[in-house]
Chain A
Amino acid sequence: MLLSVDHVTRYRYDQPVRAVMQSHRLTPSVFAGQKTRNWTVTVTDGIPGGTFRDGAGDVVQSWTVKGPVTEIEVRVTGTVETFDLAGLLRGHRELLPPEVYLVDTPPTRADAALTALAHAARNPEGALSTAHGLAAAVADAIAYRPGATHAHTTAAEALALGEGVCQDHAHALIACARAIGLPARYVSGYLFATADGSAHEAAHAWAEIHVAGLGWVGFDPANRCCPDARYIRLGSGLNAQDAAPIRGIARGLGQESLDVTVAVQDLQQ
């Protein structure tokens, strides 16, 4: 597919702030499943900082905005050609070994219920079958319902509630995988879902599980599938915060409000 993205995040402050610093992971990953045709990130009056590729293979770019300022717009536009690799992250260059993604973090900590869910999904046929089983079990246990959870809901809380959004699905799947010794990580990106580009959760998240012999494989419990040509991958981390496409902070007393719109369209249709 040939996907175009228009992703706008608008930050408003109720009183002027002195400066804003942001760290972006907003560049499409380089791997066999996607080829970037063009890609631009703009920040209102932003001064670009240094850029580098981190140990996970993600491109990080920082920005600063000098105040006083009451509104900032971060706009991401571009076109990416995508290919269906059935979830495989083939040809992705990264330095970090999968063992790094076995560590516990607060939102992905497995409680007794998550651990039980993980053990029940174990499949004697091997890690790949187990991973598929885990993704299905998480999708069954947590129904998709926007508004049921919030940014700081943990995997254990979402499972107890039985409802959540893609972040909760990803956290729960990661918790289950790590609980049975499979390295797992959080992935942020975009999803093309409907022809008119008005997909729910176009700014999307899923999980990757490391399968020996295959490498990293993506699983999207929210949509009960592995990432295919409808997905654009941006970056990864131990959890949602660690993988956030934008991490930012403002200096000053102004209260921040946020407005996000994402449109993903298929240019070949």
Chain B
Amino acid sequence: MVAAGGVTVTQYFNEMYQNGKVRAPYAQLEDWMNAMPAQLRTLKQAEAEDLFRRIGITFAVYGEGGDPDRLIPFDMFPRVFTGAEWGRLEKGIKQRARALNAFLVDVYGRGEIVRAGRIPARLVYQNEAYEKAVAGIKPPKGVYSHIVGIDIVRTGPDEFFVLEDNCRTPSGVSYMLENREIMMRMFPDLFRGNRIEPVDRYPDLLRRTLASVAPPKCSKDPTIVLLTPGPFNSAYYEHSFLADLMGIELVEGQDLFVEGEFVWMRTTEGPKRVDVIYRRIDDAYIDPLCFRPDSTLGVPGVMDVYRSGGVSLCSAPGAGVADDKAVYTFVPEMVRFYLGEEPILKNVPTWQCGRQDDLGYVLDNLADLVVKEVHGSGGYGMLVGPKATKEQVETFRAKITADPGNYIAQPTLALSTTPTFVAEGVAPRHVDLRPYCLVGERIELVPGALTRVALTEGSLVVNSSQGGGVKDTWVLAE
């Protein structure tokens, strides 16, 4: 068993054990773990898998082949934060979400941050994700990104770093809710013994957030819909799950149409006006009259309705300019510029390969760095220097040299570990954290998040598309 052997790992922060002693928030879990015979654990793991399969929560993995409906592995060992730890995280997350939205309002308005020389004009205005179609629009409550997913890693007791921001349509929140649901069903005693903050208010808060950004032309209780690309999308389960929990319609592009100044939904009782669209389709596909003319997933004319105040789109097209990996470097600057505050959450030091000095450093130290594509996501097209073969490093060297502006590099972070059930028992595995911050009239964060875990020993890549799993994430009541 590796249970107490967690202490042998010295260069990584182990969230459960420090100096051979269990940290306070994990004390009860240690008893729980020790009291669980291997046989029961196997049984429980099978039960959890069965539950996930029955509710139909699967995650399609692009580009890997194999079974598109395979389950994302669920690890039963919860990850725990104390109320005090979470309190500080919460402040930092909300601060960042406010700054990101202030940035979006600014760059689609007068662009003060660019005029002030705090961020290069090129990074903003020549950014692929910049949509000039939304310039000059004032979205309700000044919000462009209504659900901000912020990926955070921990490297020490008080060391938290933001890896990246997700301002478009971050997915995965259904796992946060389902992981909790399943843990409560399987281990009710754990929840009696620990005072764990609930996360089940999330759907209600999301619905209220969406309702709070109803457009100026809506004078009644707003009608909200969730627009999905359809069942072939990898996150379709989440779309239907959230629509169901919020009590709103799940629609595809063909269910909506534009007539006059508004968007309408086809219903059995005739057309019904739609006020807020929580869209889970990409910018390029939203409206063939404004973006890709060949898109059949969107709603022709919806952008004109949006821009003339007849409907709200959540998130606003163009919100992605704030979560680009090159723009990321400037988020701490945004916090200072717009809020006049010091950033609570730190950025990971980042080298821009587009800068001559940085490029030299990156090419000289490739074997020690993590290199990412500026617009990449899901852990694809990424080099983890210390884990890569010589050939992989050289392939990346060629790619970076050919198009330096497309790459950024970061030090390989010592991601914290939490205990995880593995074939041999329990062992430390690296984790990250994705909280979902809601921004509307108010700014809300449920005390919980999605913890992703790299199940392969030593692996630092937690993306589900690269074989990562998920855990229930607890915040203990103070």
Contacts and interface: CB of A to CB of B under 8 A. Distances in A.
Interface stretch (B122-130, B362-370, B464-472): B122-130
B133 interface: yes
Interface in B308-367: 308-310
Given A102-B125, A249-B288, A96 B304 contact: no
A60 B125 contact: no
Interface string A40-79: 0000000111111111100010101010000000000000
Contact of A241 (B125, B257, B259, B293): B293
A52 B308 contact: yes
Interface centre among B110, B300, B307 (most CB of A within 10 A): B300
A53 B257 CA distance: 23
Interface in A149-168: none
A47 B260 CA distance: 5
B125 A100 contact: yes
B259 A62 contact: no
A7 B40 CA distance: 79
Nearest to B259: A64
B108 interface: yes
A248 interface: yes
B310 A56 contact: no
Contacts of B132: 55-56, 96, 100, 238
A248 B293 contact: no
Nearest to B254: A251
Contacts of B135: 54-56, 95-96, 100
Contacts of B304: 23, 49-50, 52, 60, 62
Given A21-B289, A49-B301, A96-B135, A60 B307 contact: yes
Interface in B238-295: 257-261, 288-290, 293
A147 interface: no
A6 interface: no
Contacts of B293: 241, 247, 249
Contacts of A249: 288-289, 293, 300
A27 B328 CA distance: 39
A267 to B, nearest CB: 33
B157 interface: no
B190 interface: no
Interface residues of B, number: 35
B307 A54 contact: yes
A113 B133 CA distance: 31
A222 to B, nearest CB: 25
Contact of B125 (A21, A66, A99): A99
Contacts of A21: 258, 289, 300-301
A19 interface: yes
Interface SS of B by simple majority = loop
A249 B294 CA distance: 10
Nearest to B134: A55
Contacts of A54: 133, 135-136, 307
A60 B309 CA distance: 13
A91 interface: no
A100 B300 contact: no
B214 to A, nearest CB: 15
Interface in B115-144: 121-122, 124-126, 130, 132-137
A2 B123 CA distance: 44
Interface residues on A, range: 20 to 34
A148 interface: no
A124 interface: no
Given A21-B300, A23-B301, A54-B307, A99 B122 contact: yes
Given A23-B289, A53-B136, A55-B136, A97 B305 contact: no
A238 B308 CA distance: 22
A86 interface: no
A95 B301 contact: no
A21 B110 CA distance: 31
B289 A248 contact: yes
Interface string B93-111: 0000000000000001111
A100 B111 CA distance: 12
A103 interface: yes
Contacts of B130: 100
A21 B301 CA distance: 6
B211 interface: no
Contacts of B303: 23
B113 interface: no
Nearest to A250: B300
A44 to B, nearest CB: 16
Contacts of A64: 258-260, 301
A238 to B, nearest CB: 8
B310 to A, nearest CB: 5
Contact of A47 (B134, B259, B300, B310): B259
A47 B208 CA distance: 32
Contact of B258 (A49, A60, A95): A49
25 contacts: A19-B257, A19-B259, A22-B289, A23-B304, A48-B260, A50-B261, A51-B308, A52-B308, A54-B307, A55-B133, A55-B134, A62-B289, A62-B304, A64-B258, A64-B301, A95-B110, A97-B111, A99-B124, A99-B125, A102-B126, A103-B126, A241-B293, A248-B289, A249-B288, A249-B289
Q: 8 smallest A-B Cβ distances: which pairs?
A: A50-B308, A55-B135, A62-B304, A99-B125, A55-B136, A21-B301, A47-B260, A21-B300
Given A23-B304, A55-B136, A241-B293, 18 more contacts: A21-B300, A23-B290, A48-B261, A49-B260, A49-B308, A50-B304, A51-B308, A52-B304, A60-B304, A60-B307, A62-B289, A96-B135, A97-B111, A97-B121, A100-B125, A100-B135, A102-B122, A102-B125
